[in-house]
Structure 1
């Protein structure tokens, strides 16, 4: 038997389950086998990791590697540490309070604040969807020569693909994501082997270098890497999809769920670190080494890979990884959109309607940019989408850290003193750096 839904510290005692159609649908073995339980909890972390390797991250990683070699690997490492902490808080909120972050906000804040948070979150999801469209469109052009305008229309078809897997079951969605992540890993493993990077400089790059702060350009790119790493919709997503597991809704059951879900999340984000680091390493070993220090465009990177590495497969694998990245992000963006709308507004739409609305909002600017500006326009649009995500990020992190540090809401699962300090320090750093990035973008000299 499951305990009554946790309602301590919340206004609404009769909260509907998050993603009710798949809530508690994945069985967790009752026996004490560690590996069987870990396998049962494996999946949500992979869906979260997708947001940390989407096309929006590629431009900053490529630019950092081409301009500064391996030096900014430490920034990717630190960003990944921030992500691990914040995703741990998100999954803990979902498990302990049996609310996703959107539902928690609706139960805590007054209606006008919730409406503002919902609008900001919807804009951020549309911006993320925009990045996915651009990534997929560029990949289709690189792989099959599909004109960019037609590529934008083709991306609408993935609505049907997503719906198919949603109706098959949540484990099917996780399996598709895992397969696409595996594709990306294989592709970049080939790129790394082909680029023959130097091991010692890579190890040095993981150690923070004071030059990163002293050099204004490296500092700017570092902020871009950090700002593009932690995706706000991932915090809403993780707090929801972790509840698809059928663990006992008791104190001991929740302790077990937090333990295995954190392992899943940490290991999955380690894969995301490998992929982001691989993009930067390939850029450093290929472009920086050859003197191409101003490569910041995905299309330019693709054009240079084949002649520099001497293999036609280099460009193909690069484009294939980009396509897998864009399609992977599409899957998680769909779920995040559903969670946010249902959580903030308590309104349910059919998945295909919700997905079509989000995609159409993103398609319009993507279509305009592809027609008017071509490839260069889509790159600029990609940068703008990351800025929008940066603006919304603070509005997701602050409530999350606040809720999980509140004893009335979390009870015995409240963040300990050390975790509270770490999470608030991370929050302050991200907020300040994102504010600087926004200011520099709109009012600075860049």
Structure 2
């Protein structure tokens, strides 16, 4: 393989412990094959409903009602396309996105991309730490700083699940996703939101761009929805499937992986929209427009809806969300480090490094500024993710459109235009945000 700037082909398997470990029956029908492929999409979907989404969804719903629903919808549609490209890259080339960057870029740009991706993973892990700690406080009364310290033990859960096999890991993830979805389905039934207002909110409004505060939250939603490290993750975990390596087998694998991720991201769309709709219906509708903190939402849900169990279900879903995101964040960190640097560390060590870099700032902010500071840090982490997103999207779009790399699987004209349009939207919105932050 020829590389831009000169580099070598990638021979190592992505996630070697799980590579091609899930059999896909060659002679089976469509539904059995789809069942064998189902799983990676749900691991990816976890990142689209992590605690960072809760912060931005609550802030957007309570402050602006249903207006930012259109941002959630558009972000999820963009995510569906980008994740399908990531899956295609992994299936066709046998490389994850980090490995492709190492193979196609020279030393300086790939080191820069690696550092930016590590920053995004730390920002994501920060959201998971805060979300889990807040859930532990709400459910069990554990002090915030203590809850943040307890999240260091998540590494033990991850190691246990990884030893049981990749299929067991996927089953655990799906089970927690079902818990989250059921909790919000019940919450929405109790809140009884306006269907007409939901329909109006799904239509984009010019005010989203012209109002700096709304734009800040909107870009936070974008950062919380389209997760840059998920593109690296998906391009790797689709390779856990032992599909036929012929052109026909790859084409079928791309189709099945795309269906898997699209259905899973449909579930993520429901959860993300439910968070904002719940905040809009319960808080904005009653004049409580400043509910941007998860703790405040927990305290106000039960009295606002008149149902004591509402707050408990909210906290249970938050805890499930934090645990799910922890697992996929660990896998993404491993993939990124091994792919960019060809550096393989023990899973527990890699996890402790990433979690330590998230725990320290979270604990300091919690100790100095309390719940309010932690809530602001949570929203800021999602904006950091959004700012890093172009540096993952641009290589992905470039690689999947490269006929030398992808052959007949290279993006066609329509897909290429759609991918470039999404890239342009992401870069433009982030540019507007940077300008507004500089100008105060």
Deviation at residue 384 of structure 1 after TM alignment? 2.5
Gaps of 5+ in 1: 1-6
CA 1:153–1:216 in 2, change beyond 3 Å: closer, same or farther?
closer
Q: Which residue of 1 aligns with 2:236?
A: 240
Q: Which residue of 1 aligns with 2:156?
A: 160
> Contact (CA 8 Å) 1:224, 1:437: kept in 2 or not?
no
> Contact (CA 8 Å) 1:9, 1:408: kept in 2 or not?
no
Q: Distance in 2 between matches of 1:419 and 1:204?
A: 29
Is 1:349 the equivalent of 2:336?
A: no
Q: Which residue of 1 aligns with 2:252?
A: 256
Deviation at residue 155 of structure 1 after TM alignment? 0.6
Q: Which residue of 1 aligns with 2:80?
A: 84
CA 1:211–1:362 in 2, change beyond 3 Å: closer, same or farther?
closer
Query: Scaled by the length of structure 1, what TM-score is found?
Result: 0.95
Q: Which residue of 1 aligns with 2:411?
A: 415
Q: Which residue of 2 aligns with 1:291?
A: 287
In the TM superposition, what whole-angstrom CA distance separates every residue of 1:414-444 from its partner, at most 9, and x where no partner exists? 0000110110110011011122223323x23
Structure 1 window deviating more from structure 2 (382-391 vs 402-411): it is 382-391
Alignment size in residue pairs: 438
Deviation at residue 216 of structure 1 after TM alignment? 4.3
Deviation at residue 228 of structure 1 after TM alignment? 2.3
> Contact (CA 8 Å) 2:219, 2:386: kept in 1 or not?
no
CA 1:218–1:361 in 2, change beyond 3 Å: closer, same or farther?
closer
Deviation at residue 388 of structure 1 after TM alignment? 2.2
Give the 3-state SS of the residue equivalent to 1:52 in structure 2: helix
Residue of 319, 322, 331 corresponding to 1:323: 319
Q: Which residue of 2 aligns with 1:273?
A: 269
> Contact (CA 8 Å) 1:302, 1:315: kept in 2 or not?
yes
Q: Which residue of 1 aligns with 2:177?
A: 181
Residue of 191, 198, 202 corresponding to 2:198: 202
Deviation at residue 221 of structure 1 after TM alignment? 2.5
Q: Distance in 1 between matches of 2:213 and 2:349?
A: 43
CA 1:391–1:217 in 2, change beyond 3 Å: closer, same or farther?
closer
Residue of 358, 365, 369 corresponding to 2:365: 369
Give the 3-state SS of the residue equivalent to 2:389 in structure 1: helix
Is 1:138 the equivalent of 2:124?
A: no
CA 1:316–1:141 in 2, change beyond 3 Å: closer, same or farther?
same
Residue of 46, 55, 60 corresponding to 1:59: 55
Structure 1 window deviating more from structure 2 (73-82 vs 258-267): it is 73-82
Is 1:74 the equivalent of 2:60?
A: no
Deviation at residue 288 of structure 1 after TM alignment? 1.2
Q: Distance in 1 between matches of 2:307 and 2:135?
A: 18
> Contact (CA 8 Å) 1:8, 1:409: kept in 2 or not?
no
Structure 1 window deviating more from structure 2 (290-299 vs 317-326): it is 290-299
Query: Scaled by the length of structure 2, what TM-score is found?
Result: 0.97
Give the 3-state SS of the residue equivalent to 1:347 in structure 2: coil
Deviation at residue 13 of structure 1 after TM alignment? 3.5
Deviation at residue 287 of structure 1 after TM alignment? 0.5
Q: Distance in 1 between matches of 2:10 and 2:210?
A: 53
Give the 3-state SS of the residue equivalent to 2:319 in structure 1: helix
Alignment of 1:109-148 (within 5 A): 109-148=105-144
Q: Distance in 2 between matches of 1:233 and 1:118?
A: 11
Q: Distance in 2 between matches of 1:122 and 1:315?
A: 34
> Contact (CA 8 Å) 1:55, 1:135: kept in 2 or not?
yes
Structure 1 window deviating more from structure 2 (376-385 vs 257-266): it is 376-385
Deviation at residue 211 of structure 1 after TM alignment? 4.1
Structure 1 window deviating more from structure 2 (370-379 vs 77-86): it is 370-379
Deviation at residue 299 of structure 1 after TM alignment? 1.4
Residue of 215, 219, 222 corresponding to 1:223: 219
Deviation at residue 247 of structure 1 after TM alignment? 0.1
In the TM superposition, what whole-angstrom CA distance separates every residue of 1:228-261 from its partner, at most 9, and x where no partner exists? 2111100000000000000011100100100000
Q: Which residue of 2 aligns with 1:99?
A: 95
CA 1:211–1:392 in 2, change beyond 3 Å: closer, same or farther?
closer
Question: What's the C-alpha RMSD, in Å, of the aligned pairs?
Answer: 1.4
CA 1:319–1:438 in 2, change beyond 3 Å: closer, same or farther?
farther
Q: Which residue of 2 aligns with 1:16?
A: 12
